[in-house]
Amino acid sequence: MNKLSEEEIRVKLLRFPDWDYYDDAIHAEFEFENFKDCFSAMSRIAFECEALNHHPDWSNVYNVLTISLSTHSVNGVSDLDFKLAEAIESIVEPEDEE
């Protein structure tokens, strides 16, 4: 995996309005109705993490999930972080069905 430059990250983040870049990682915070909904999303995200072999630095307080993604081997952000961010978005904010 390549370490993305700040410029590359900023361009990619245009498609990820929930996410921000600082401290060599991308970060997002999601709020749910209650703890059950939050933890249910976390369980679903966990399966995606295992499938990608890429794992978030995350924390949960009641109905709020805070996530940071980075790639240890490059000491920064790689395409893998965006791949996982995309999977997280599709779980947390699914598109409306027709």
Binding-site ranges for ligand H2B (CB under 6 A): 53-55, 69-73
Taking the complex as a whole, the smallest distance from the CB of residue 91 to ligand H2B amounts, in Å, to 17
Contact in structure between 12 and 86 (CB atoms under 8 Å): no
List the alpha helices (DSSP H) in the chain.
Answer: 6-13, 35-52, 79-92
Chain residue at closest Cβ approach to ligand H2B: 72
Nearer to ligand H2B (CB atom), residue 1 or residue 62: 1
Taking the complex as a whole, the smallest distance from the CB of residue 30 to ligand H2B amounts, in Å, to 17
Nearer to ligand H2B (CB atom), residue 72 or residue 97: 72
Distances (CA, A) of 29 to 56, 97, 98: 12, 24, 27
